[in-house]
Amino acid sequence: MLSDRTIKKLLDKGHLKVEAPDSGVWPWQIQPVSIDLRLGAVSLKNGTPVPATISDKVRWVIEPGQFRLGSTLERIEVCENLVGMVVGKSTIAREGLMVEAAGLVDPGFGGQITLELCNLSDEPIQLDYMQPICQMTLDWTDTTPERVYNSTDNHYQGQMGPTPSWRTRL
């Protein structure tokens, strides 16, 4: 797992890109072994996102048992020998929100990360636009993969906003 020092070097050299409408990466987002990512949008239903802009004071409420798709505010781009793993922030998990990001950010991926959000508590959970929602750790691959994500026909390359399963688009 890569440390904050290595993450900063990767950002400086352009091997890792983390971009948002309001900035690149804010210093507070870089943690000892991860980068905090913020909530960009949440879908009303699978695939119908609620648009949000930087000036919005958008708040979503996820009711007990509800499932929604969300996305990171940040657009991520990883080089061909770097892999990311996205997990929910412990603060939001302690409130009962499960944040699943299908975890893996493949080498060569570029786009916003779609988040699967499920309220496991018995109380409604409020989510605010731009709040920290998940974190991404990074590691090297032992060699460059034969099939880098951006060089093959992949369903989610370049995704922006909450992106439903490619199976729903058949």
Q: What share of the chain is helix, strand, coil (3-state, %, to 5)?
A: 15, 40, 45
Question: Count of residues for the chain?
Answer: 170
**Hey, which residues are catalytic here?**
116
Report residue 124 as tokens: 């409604």
Give the percent of the chain with pLDDT over 90.
54
Task: Report the amino acid identity of residue 47.
Answer: G
On whether the CB atoms of residues 134 and 87 are closer than 8 A, the answer is yes
Query: Model pTM?
Result: 0.84
Helix (H, G, I), strand (E, B) or coil at 18: strand
Q: What is the pLDDT of residues 1-60, one digit of tens each?
A: 999 999 999 999 999 999 998 888 999 999 999 999 999 877 766 556 655 555 556 788
